[in-house]
Amino acid sequence: MSATPQGNSLNSLLHSLRSGAAAPVVVLAMLSMVVVPLPPFLLDILFTINIALSLMVLLAVVYVKRPLEFSVFPSVLLMVTLLRLSLNVASTRVVLLHGHQGGAAAGHVIESFGNFVVGGSYAVGIIVFAILTIVNFVVVTKGSGRISEVSARFILDALPGKQMAIDADLNAGLLSREDAKMRREEVRNEADFYGSMDGASKFVRGDAIAGLLILVINLVGGVAIGTLQHGLGFADAMQTYTLLAIGDGLVAQLPALLVSTAVAMLVTRATREQEMGAAVGEQVFGQRRALIVAAGLMGLIGVVPGMPNLPFLLFAGILGYAAWRLKKNEDAAALVPAADEAAAQAAAPAAELSWDEVRPAEPLGLEVGYKLIALVDKSQGGELLTRLKGVRRKLTQDLGFLIPAVHVRDNLELPAGQYRILVHGVPVGSGELHPDRMMALDPGKVFGPLEGIPGKDPAFGLDATWILPSQRAHAESLGYTVVDAGTVIATHLSHVVRERASELLGHDEVQHLLSSVGKMSPKLVEDLTPKLLPLSVIVRVLQSLLAERVSLKQIRRIVEALLEHGIMTQDPAALTAAVRTALGAFIVQELNGMAAELPVFTLAPQMERILQDSVNGQGAALEPGLAERLHQSLSECVSRQEQRGEPAILLVPGGIRAAISRLVRHSVPQLSVLAYGEVPEDKRLRLLGAVG
């Protein structure tokens, strides 16, 4: 059966509307209502649609979980405001042209609303309408406009700090590139949304003012037209046009009040993903103490002579029952885990001791006090384990070998808010946290102090302030970098692993590295070990590289260098120097990127000669005073380079490079010590000075 031409045209019209033409068509239709006369029955339909649409917007705001889920709200607000104003203009035309014919001249909706509010007294009708308009304009609209303005300002001021926090999490391995991209997009969307809401709130305010003006125009203009053009008496004209003006104004103000309430509810929502009803039920009616106190006060008022005793006592009983139900539910929830634990202990048979009870220390461990358990427990919303996996992934990619899993356990011997990091069972780092607060770090340029608990960043020892979560936007607007307690632990762990990477690399890890090379070049690994070098020597070389912050990502190049020089020596120090020379281009690129020039410091000739004699055993060891002055000079060089934004590199002869590196490794960790032979031939040197 073939489709009719009319059916084809209807289908094409529906398809065009679904494909994106609906919005322009609706906007043009609303604008046309300003100039095209509308019959009363069509006005009734459009006024009903306007009320239904405003109600749908309000309910959508109530059920949305986060404000950003309703990102199209500013555009919707403009559309419903434009529809309401267009209907006001169309109804005003009908009221002024045909109002002398009676209350139904502008449609049954306007007449019904007018009769309902007026109720036989036009003075009361005008007062009720004025009160409704004042509530909408002065209370709801003005308050939501102020909140939108403040929210937009704080969101835009905090935008740079949030971007810096995302970059810090990305560099620390807490976020993947895709997650960081999504976070940046969310931050931009949030700024755009609140900026749009700041402007869109002005639509609602202007609409309220327009409603008042249209009421006055309908009332004054209608009375004048009715008495002068249609010969109505003043009382009849006042009665007719007052009914129409109030009905028209109320039909417009009721949807306006719904939309204004929706705006206020949306801008006062927090960013937490939770429906408004669930949030109110949890935070307002989920407080047992508040219910008990309210029930007691209502009961006291109910027994006062002369008061309406029955309503107060009734509500006191309802609140008391609600508090009792909350207490009962809390006790039942607390008994379930205890019962499960007791049942598990009763079901588990007492096993004999065995060698399985003797377990070696974990390579990497994290112990937390009891207040920090919530950071680890996923059932309590803890995300620390997920972040630690991200840290391991990032470090594995950067260091070139698989970082062992972090063994997390609680330690009741630690203070409640303290944690410590262990490497092979030995504590190597610790910190004090406030899990209910956030740490604000000074990146070097802030615009004011913060109120909070002073503290220290456990990873780098920077001054920090523990602030409340509600202060985050204010702190970021002042230039602080704000992180939560889980991020503090993850960053500290990342720093410790980088510093202790050589201790985490053992024979098993090296064997896995060689196996991965052997899959592509089996002959290469077969000729290296055990034929040429024992595995222990290779482990020592790789550990030395990690101790000097050289990644093992170039493992194939390392194996080739060991094959080349392993024929001449098996000394780990000599092999490390040979491998570093082979990796010179990679080491310099990691330090200075693709820059054509390499800024370096050198040793003064006298200092270089003293160090060479000390290393070769021809002179006395370095005096403590001389070593201290050397450390001070090198620290000053590092500070100057940090201010310039360049790496601090000391270029020395190959024979003393390892000794100087060990000497400054812990006292000046930002300094990189290179041998002359490690600098590629195509790299130009820029001499910054000689250290004496």
User: Would you call 339 exposed, middle or buried from its count of C-beta atoms within 10 A (0-12, 13-18, 19+)?
Assistant: exposed
Residue 224 lies in a domain: yes
CB burial string 426-452: b at 16+ within 10 A, e below: eeebebbbbbebbbbbbeeebeeebeb
| Residue 6: pLDDT band with limits 50, 70, 90 | very low
Query: Token pair for residue 426?
Result: 């030995």
Residue where a domain terminates, one of 468, 502, 536: 502
The answer to whether residues 298 and 311 touch, using CB atoms and an 8 Å cutoff, is no
Whether residues 190 and 229 share a domain: the answer is yes
CATH value at residue 545: 1.10.8.540
- Least confident range from 31-35, 557-561, 641-645, 659-663: namely 31-35
| Domain that residue 520 falls in | 505-582
Residue 565 has pLDDT above 80, yes or no: yes
Q: State which amino acid sits at residue 105.
A: A
Residue where a domain terminates, one of 487, 502, 517: 502
Residue 3 lies in a domain: no
Q: DSSP secondary-structure letter at 572? A: H
Q: DSSP secondary-structure letter at 414? A: S
Whether residues 378 and 304 share a domain: the answer is no
Residue 1 lies in a domain: no
Q: Which residue has the higher pLDDT, 633 or 3?
A: 633
Residue 1 has pLDDT above 70, yes or no: no
Residue 373 lies in a domain: yes
**Max Cα distance, the chain (Å):** 126
Residue 650 lies in a domain: yes
Mean pLDDT score, 437-452? 85
> What integer best gives the mean pLDDT of the chain?
79
Q: Which residue has the higher pLDDT, 521 or 289?
A: 521
Q: Write the pLDDT tens digit of every residue in 129-171.
A: 777 777 777 777 777 777 777 777 777 777 777 777 777 777 7
Residue 557 lies in a domain: yes
How many angstroms separate the CA atoms of 358 and 356, rounded? 5
Whether residues 510 and 575 share a domain: the answer is yes
Whether residues 131 and 214 share a domain: the answer is yes
H helices of 400-521, in order, are 472-477, 485-499, 501-504, 507-520
Residue 9 lies in a domain: no
Q: Write the pLDDT tens digit of every residue in 267-324.
A: 776 555 556 666 666 666 667 777 788 878 888 887 877 777 787 788 778 888 887 8
Q: Write the pLDDT tens digit of every residue in 471-499.
A: 888 888 888 888 988 889 999 999 999 99
pLDDT at 22: 61
pTM of the model: 0.58
| Residue 13: pLDDT band with limits 50, 70, 90 | very low
Residue 19 has pLDDT above 50, yes or no: no
Share of the chain above pLDDT 70, in %: 85
Q: Write the pLDDT tens digit of every residue in 198-227.
A: 777 777 677 777 777 777 777 788 778 778
Question: Which phi and psi angles does 325 have, rounded to 5°?
Answer: -65, -40
Whether residues 190 and 60 share a domain: the answer is yes
Residue 407 has pLDDT above 70, yes or no: yes
Query: What's the total number of domains in the chain?
Result: 5
How many angstroms separate the CA atoms of 167 and 174, rounded? 10
Whether residues 111 and 44 share a domain: the answer is yes
- Least confident range from 11-15, 176-180, 470-474, 591-595: namely 11-15
Query: Token pair for residue 287?
Result: 């407080």
pLDDT at 340: 59
Whether residues 491 and 399 share a domain: the answer is yes
Q: Which residue has the higher pLDDT, 376 or 212?
A: 376
Q: Which residue has 């949304």 as its token pair?
A: 193
Residue 121 has pLDDT above 70, yes or no: no
Share of the chain above pLDDT 90, in %: 11
| Residue 575: pLDDT band with limits 50, 70, 90 | very high
Whether residues 626 and 568 share a domain: the answer is no
The answer to whether residues 495 and 168 touch, using CB atoms and an 8 Å cutoff, is no
pLDDT at 617: 63
Q: Which residue has 């036009």 as its token pair?
A: 122
Residue 607 lies in a domain: yes
pLDDT at 261: 80
Whether residues 636 and 659 share a domain: the answer is yes
What is each CA distance from 226 to 102, 221, 348, 504, 677, in whole angstroms?
11, 8, 94, 95, 103
Residues 6 or more apart whose CB falls under 8 angstroms from that of 245 comprise: 95, 114, 215, 218, 219, 222
Q: Strand pairing partners for 368?
A: 410, 419
Whether residues 497 and 513 share a domain: the answer is no
pLDDT at 545: 92
| DSSP three-state, residue 442 | coil
Whether residues 456 and 424 share a domain: the answer is yes
Nearest Cα to 600, choosing from 665, 679, 692, 682?
679
Nearest Cα to 259, choosing from 92, 100, 389, 78?
78
CATH value at residue 453: 3.40.30.60
Whether residues 176 and 295 share a domain: the answer is no
